Structure 1
Amino acid sequence: MNLKTIKKVAVIGATTNREKYGNIIIRDLKKKGFEIIPVTPKYDEIEGIKTVKEVKDLPKEVDLLVFVVPPKVGLEITKEALKYGFKNLWYQPGAYSEDINEYLKKNNIKAAHDLCIMVETNKN
């Protein structure tokens, strides 16, 4: 996955809690110039950015979905993401599982996992 071509990033599991990665990642990527769309049913706005409630509400031009949710939740959202045509998926450490791996393999999707998006975007 070429992070240099990524502009619009959806963060699945976004939160208003500034101590959690669902918020830290939003602030980090925003500071690096990415357009961020937080995805959460819990809040209307995070860090001054309007949220969307579900993956189906995302604009089609989102370049990357970053998962910051437990694997069980992530598997269900992965299924929804593929259903709506999103194929660039990134699973933060702790968000990936064998079940997600099997599902992606079955659907011929390669995803980034067990790498931190904040670290990897520092390399570009």
Structure 2
Amino acid sequence: MTFTNPTDQQIKEILHKYKRIAVIGLSNNPARTSYMVSEAMQKAGYEIIPVNPMVDSVLGQKSYASLKDIDKEVDIINVFRRSEFVYDLAKEATEIKPKVFWTQLDVFDEDAAKLLQEHNILTVMNRCIKVEHAKFK
């Protein structure tokens, strides 16, 4: 099986329907891409849940050490980690059952995509959520 991202129409529907985003690897450094993207999504009306065991809070939101520590339902998991971490993150995601698992530019794992699809979790890889959101405003 070769992974294929959802169509533009499906991505548009994802971004209009789901508003709570757990951001794995969200930095508290405003110069980092994860911060800039998450800040833009927050300003666009999305709820951001930082997932980073190294910080207490980011963008005014409590940070969680892992996905399993989040005490509310997650719509989208947005991954700002290198590709070699994606499979383990996908396994963890199957336990909390988000609607969507999304990896940023240059982050991709075919085996993780297969696992997520087996658990009926919509998967978007190697795409910037902020860029995609800007296309469909």
Q: What RMSD, in angstroms, separates the aligned Cα atoms of the two structures?
A: 1.7
Contact 1:71–1:100 under 8 Å retained in 2: no
Secondary structure (helix, strand or coil) at the match of 2:132 reads helix
**Tell me, what secondary structure is at the counterpart of 1:86?**
coil
Aligned partner of 2:104: which letter? Q
The runs of 5 or more residues in structure 2 that have no matched partner are 1-10
Decide which of 38, 44, 47 is 2:59's aligned counterpart. 47
* Corresponding residue number in structure 2 for 1:6: 18
Q: Does 1:120 align with 2:132?
A: yes
| Number of residue pairs aligned between Structure 1 and Structure 2 | 124
Structure 2 match to 1:15: 27
Distance 1:109 1:6, change over 3 A: closer
SS of equivalent residue, structure 1 residue 83:
helix
Distance in 1, matches of 2:109 and 2:28, equals 25
1:35 paired with 2:47, answer: yes
- Counterparts of 1:85 and 1:109, CA distance in 2: 7
Give me the TM-score of the superposition, normalised by structure 2.
Answer: 0.80
Percent pairwise identity: 31
Q: Secondary structure at the match of 2:85?
A: helix
Structure 1 residue ranges (4+ consecutive) displaced by more than 6 angstroms after TM superposition: none
TM-aligned CA deviation for residue 105 of structure 1: 4.6
Q: Per-residue deviation at 1:69?
A: 0.5
Deviation at 1:110, TM superposition (A): 3.6
**Is contact 2:73–2:98 with CA below 8 Å preserved after alignment?**
no
Cα-to-partner distance string for 1:43-97 (whole Å, 9 max, x where unaligned): 0011222111100012342211101111122221110110222241111112212
Query: Given the superposition, is the C-alpha separation of residues 85 and 115 from structure 1 closer, same or farther in structure 2, using an over 3 Å criterion?
Result: same
Paired residues of 1:11 and 1:36 also in contact (CA < 8 A)? yes
Match of 1:67 among 50, 63, 79: 79
Matched, 1:82 2:86: no
SS at match of 1:61: coil
Relative distance call for 1:109 and 1:46 in structure 2 (3 A) is closer
Q: Which amino acid aligns with 1:80?
A: E
- Out of 38-47 and 14-23, give the one that drifted further: 14-23
The 3 A distance-change label for structure 1 pair 98 and 34 is same
Shift of 1:115: 1.7
SS at match of 1:19: coil
TM, length-normalised to structure 1:
0.88
